[in-house]
Amino acid sequence: MALIPHVIGGEKITAAERTQPVYNPATGEQQHELAIASVATVEEAIAAAKAALPAWRKTSLTKRADVFFNLRQLLKQRTPELAAIVTSEHGKVLSDAAGEIARGLENVEFASGLLHLLKGERDEQVSTGVDVHSIKQPVGVVAAITPFNFPVMVPLWMIASAIACGNTVVLKPSERDPSASIFIADLFREAGLPDGVLNVVNGDKVAVDTLLDSRDVKAISFVGSTPIAKYIYERAAANGKRVQALGGAKNHMIVMPDADLNGAADAAVSAAYGSAGERCMAVSVVVAVGGVGDELVQKIADRMADLTIGDGTDPASEMGPLITREAKERVESYVAGAEAEGATVVVDGREAQFEGDGFFTGVSLIDHVKTDSKVYREEIFGPVLAVVRVDTYEEGVQLINEHQFGNGTAIFTRDGGVARQFEFEVEAGMVGINVPIPVPVGSFSFGGWKDSLFGDAHIYGPESVHFYTRSKVVTTRWPKPEQSKVDLGFPSNS
Ligand code: NAD
């Protein structure tokens, strides 16, 4: 069985004291063995990144940008191949895998504009004969730690900007679907990136902790579940690093009485069950306002009956399996417990039948969900949509604002005034107005509020340039020698 390697200083390293299986979730069969990094292997990767830093820092911006222009072409040409890798280890359908590659490409395109992004500022004659300018310099070696659910897009969220800004990187992808990261590292190399600028180590907590504790790693970008995000934030910050740690979500979609209910039902089904609900921006709660509940639930249930669930390589499939058997059992346990928590299970995904040993579950719809229930409070991260009914818009917003998570949210309405008020007062980092999954385009930044993000920098886009650079302010004066004199006063402007 093929052993998935690490990539360190351009070399594929397979030596490993420990290994673990990587499955095809659609069949339940192991398809690869993964090398799990020891402390020494991670230290080797950090050393390779540190060694590559001086030359990469000195590489002209134009040459750096060239890598990203080349990479863009390669990623476009090789999308079918990369999508097939994603589907084989993650399970999402091929069109969805191609979609995440397209969204990741936005970050590559953003990074190719680095000449503009890294421009500093200059102020002339701030004092007589004195000018000031600022420059942005790389922070050094940075680590990127990523989740299973977007094995292409999330690594690109981080590494594109980090590398463009002149840093070198150690990427630690999810151990569930690591092959996409190896493929991306190969494409970067083909695009002209020097060895050692991007290193990939596969592994678990041992690898992550080594990155968090290393004095040579200056910044940590993390995306994953909230408990781990909090842990990463605390440990890395205690070690003096800058950290952005994005966590879990429970994204609410408010449907107002004046909304187009067919459009809202289409959006709810697409956003709840796409990628089997394993998206941090998936809609997991629909808030039905002012009596639209019965009609909306019926429309959602009608659409669910038409969904085709199956192997992601089958073009007829609209939804694939969950990532692991444990994930399937966990997701189904929420559906099993829902009625005891006072809710009504309208569609029970556990009843769906599938052939073989894949990690499939059907789509579930749970109505009359109580806000103190586990189904409502916890992130399920599977194809389970909860419906909460409220009388007024104000009650709906209050639910969102009181929830632990604040990643994305949406409102469906035809009333611009209500939409504007929602945008003004809702406590979430990304808001959709008649858009169920408002993932910002690559020229903006992505990030939630509350327990959906620890740290203060959102990811990719303009905030990533800030995160991956240190600014330096230079004050300049060219006095004539005869004007020189001793002056013990504090320098002041004149
Ligand atoms: P996870 O937290 O289990 O794993 C994320 C990364 O952390 C992996 O690389 C993993 O190896 C590592 N890790 C896991 N346990 C660790 C530990 N104890 N110590 C150190 N490192 C550890 O998340 P996941 O299951 O891979 O991904 C799903 C989660 O990610 C969901 O909660 C989802 O909402 C979240 N997510 C959030 C966003 C966002 O932008 N906010 C985007 C995608 C996914």
Quote the domain boundaries for residue 304. 251-433
**Alpha helices by DSSP H, 145-191:** 153-164, 179-190
Q: What is the DSSP string of 50-76?
A: HHHHHHHHHS-HHHHHHHHHHHHHHHH
On whether both 148 and 255 belong to a single domain, the answer is: no
**Bridge partners, 7 (sequence order):** 12, 200
Give the per-residue pLDDT at 491: 77
Quick check: CB of 381 below 6 Å from ligand 1? Answer: yes
Whether residue 201 contacts residue 182, with contact meaning beta carbons closer than 8 Å, is answered with no
Distance 173 CA to ligand 1 centre (A): 10
Quick check: CB of 204 below 6 Å from ligand 1? Answer: yes
Alpha-carbon distance of 125 to 123, in angstroms, equals 7
Neighbours of 461 (CB within 10 A): 22
Does the pLDDT at position 300 exceed 90?
yes
Quick check: CB of 70 below 6 Å from ligand 1? Answer: no
Distance 224 CA to ligand 1 centre (A): 3
Does the pLDDT at position 116 exceed 80?
yes
Q: For residue 405, what are its two tokens?
A: 């998570």
On whether both 42 and 175 belong to a single domain, the answer is: yes
Using one digit for the tens of pLDDT, what is the confidence trace for 402-426? Answer: 999 999 999 999 999 999 999 999 9
On whether both 286 and 340 belong to a single domain, the answer is: yes
On whether both 238 and 361 belong to a single domain, the answer is: no
List the single range of 10-19, 179-188, 310-319, 414-423 with lowest mean pLDDT: 10-19
Quick check: CB of 379 below 6 Å from ligand 1? Answer: yes
In a domain, 479, yes or no: no
Give the per-residue pLDDT at 402: 98
Give the per-residue pLDDT at 469: 98
Give the per-residue pLDDT at 77: 98
Using one digit for the tens of pLDDT, what is the confidence trace for 273-283? Answer: 999 999 999 99
Q: Which residue lies with its CA nearest to atom 20 of ligand 1? A: 205
Using one digit for the tens of pLDDT, what is the confidence trace for 237-269? Answer: 999 999 999 999 999 999 999 999 999 999 999
Indicate the SS3 state at residue 227.
helix
Using one digit for the tens of pLDDT, what is the confidence trace for 350-368? Answer: 999 999 999 999 999 999 9
On whether both 185 and 218 belong to a single domain, the answer is: yes
On whether both 91 and 125 belong to a single domain, the answer is: yes
Domain count, the chain: 2
Q: What is the CATH number of the domain that holds 398?
A: 3.40.309.10
Which of the four pLDDT bands, split at 50, 70 and 90, describes residue 1?
confident
Q: Which residue lies with its CA nearest to atom 21 of ligand 1? A: 205
Give the per-residue pLDDT at 328: 98
- Tell me the CB-side half-sphere exposure of residue 388, using CA atoms within 13 A: 26
Q: Which residue lies with its CA nearest to atom 19 of ligand 1? A: 205
Give the per-residue pLDDT at 483: 86
Does the pLDDT at position 290 exceed 90?
yes
List the single range of 13-17, 222-226, 315-319, 371-375 with lowest mean pLDDT: 13-17
Does the pLDDT at position 492 exceed 80?
no
Distance 63 CA to ligand 1 centre (A): 34
Distance 1 CA to ligand 1 centre (A): 27
In a domain, 482, yes or no: no
Q: For residue 98, what are the CA distances in angstroms to 387, 416, 460?
A: 30, 34, 20
Query: Which has the higher per-residue pLDDT, 487 or 254?
Result: 254
Q: For residue 335, what are its two tokens?
A: 């559906």
Give the per-residue pLDDT at 191: 98
Does the pLDDT at position 333 exceed 80?
yes
Distance 293 CA to ligand 1 centre (A): 34
Using one digit for the tens of pLDDT, what is the confidence trace for 168-227? Answer: 999 999 999 999 999 999 999 999 999 999 999 999 999 999 999 999 999 999 999 999
Ligand 1 atom nearest the C-alpha of 148 is: 26
Does the pLDDT at position 494 exceed 80?
no
Distance 415 CA to ligand 1 centre (A): 37
Quick check: CB of 148 below 6 Å from ligand 1? Answer: yes
Alpha-carbon distance of 429 to 407, in angstroms, equals 5
Ligand 1 atom nearest the C-alpha of 229 is: 2
Residue to mutate, 221, 223, 250, ligand 1, most ligand atoms under 8 Å from C-beta: 223
Instruction: State the chain's mean pLDDT as an integer.
Output: 97
Ligand 1 atom nearest the C-alpha of 448 is: 41
On whether both 33 and 168 belong to a single domain, the answer is: yes
On whether both 337 and 198 belong to a single domain, the answer is: no
Alpha-carbon distance of 278 to 149, in angstroms, equals 6
Whether residue 438 contacts residue 431, with contact meaning beta carbons closer than 8 Å, is answered with yes
Does the pLDDT at position 139 exceed 80?
yes
In a domain, 445, yes or no: no
Q: What is the CATH number of the domain that holds 171?
A: 3.40.605.10
In a domain, 494, yes or no: no
Give the per-residue pLDDT at 2: 82
Quick check: CB of 248 below 6 Å from ligand 1? Answer: yes
Q: What is the DSSP string of 248-304?
A: ---EEEEE-TTS-HHHHHHHHHHHHHGGGG--TT-EEEEEEETT-HHHHHHHHHHHH
Quick check: CB of 98 below 6 Å from ligand 1? Answer: no
Quick check: CB of 172 below 6 Å from ligand 1? Answer: yes
Alpha-carbon distance of 426 to 406, in angstroms, equals 9
On whether both 224 and 319 belong to a single domain, the answer is: no
Ligand 1 atom nearest the C-alpha of 174 is: 9
Which of the four pLDDT bands, split at 50, 70 and 90, describes residue 493?
low
On whether both 225 and 257 belong to a single domain, the answer is: no
Q: Which residue lies with its CA nearest to atom 36 of ligand 1? A: 224
Ligand 1 atom nearest the C-alpha of 228 is: 2
In a domain, 446, yes or no: no
Residues known to be catalytic: 280
Q: For residue 75, what are the CA distances in angstroms to 68, 190, 255?
A: 10, 11, 38
Which whole number is the average pLDDT over 451-462? 98
Distance 175 CA to ligand 1 centre (A): 10
Q: What percent of the chain has pLDDT over 70?
A: 100
In a domain, 481, yes or no: no
Alpha-carbon distance of 179 to 429, in angstroms, equals 31
In a domain, 439, yes or no: no
In a domain, 480, yes or no: no
Quick check: CB of 147 below 6 Å from ligand 1? Answer: yes
On whether both 373 and 297 belong to a single domain, the answer is: yes
On whether both 182 and 262 belong to a single domain, the answer is: no
Distance 148 CA to ligand 1 centre (A): 7
